[in-house]
Amino acid sequence: MSQAWLAEARGRAGAAIRAIDATAADPAHDREARRVMEIAAARYQYHYLTERSASNLRIGPELVALLLDNGAALHGALQRIAGVQLQVNDEQDAIRLDGLDGVGKELVRRAMSKLMKKPEAIDDARKDPEGWATRGREHLSQEIRALGKRAFHVLGIQKAHPEIVELVGALNFRTSYTQNQWWHAVEASYLAGMMAAELGLDEKLNTRDPAARGEPARYLPPACWHRRCGRRCSPGRSSEVSRSAADFSSPRAARAKAPRDSR
């Protein structure tokens, strides 16, 4: 019976594709598509600031000396825990973060900021560089999990695997064309939900579609790779976050909130 269901589903999908191909050149489809996209874009209002990740940190000769003290113990510990290279400039008053791991760069930035703002942390970093860097990583990991849970809460998605939650939270430390990718995932879901509601389709199904297609996964940093085997997680799993929780205002969109079958 399962084979019969699969054959029937394939037949319906093939017929739908042929029908779309036959009418693809109709200008009415373009006009309707533009209308729906314009409505969705007009309803979605979110202001975000331009973000840039600083890779050159001017920390002063004192902190550079601390990094290179005791055979560069702290320097090596931060490189191993963060997964990025710390390159000291010729004047030895600044470092450059070399790598693609946005989470690792954020870890080093926070570590340098803590050393500058809290001199008492210097002794802890000098006594146990590996443990001090590891504690910073654990604290950042907790924040990443909280960001992932926040995304699921904002978008109204049911609980997911902890690995997916962590992957979604890590998007907050990645930008593309100065846009925060955590918000990009949320934005894609909002727009998909609004367009689905305007067309009278199943809102839940269509708002999850950007995630199923791995829309935010294109921007996942290497921090979101499997840490043990070094492979990138599959887009379908790593980007399950995208779902709309928008509060639509039009009557048609309000009706679309009720469960219904996709047309």
- Give domain limits for the chain: 32-49+146-256, 56-142
56-142: CATH, from 3.30.1370, 1.10.3470, 1.20.950, 2.60.120 = 3.30.1370
The torsion angles phi and psi of 239, rounded to 5 degrees, stand at -125, 35
**Closest alpha carbon to 198 in 6, 84, 2, 41:** 41
State the pLDDT confidence band at 213, using cuts at 50, 70 and 90. very low
Percent helix, strand and coil across the chain, each to the nearest 5: 65, 5, 30
Q: Among 10-24, 80-94, 117-131, 233-247, which is the least confidently predicted range?
A: 233-247
Query: What is the C-alpha separation between 138 and 95, in angstroms, rounded?
Result: 23
pLDDT of residue 224: 44
**Is 247 in contact with 194 (CB distance < 8 Å)?**
no
Which tens digit of pLDDT belongs to each residue from 83-128? 999 999 999 899 999 988 899 999 999 999 999 999 889 999 999 9
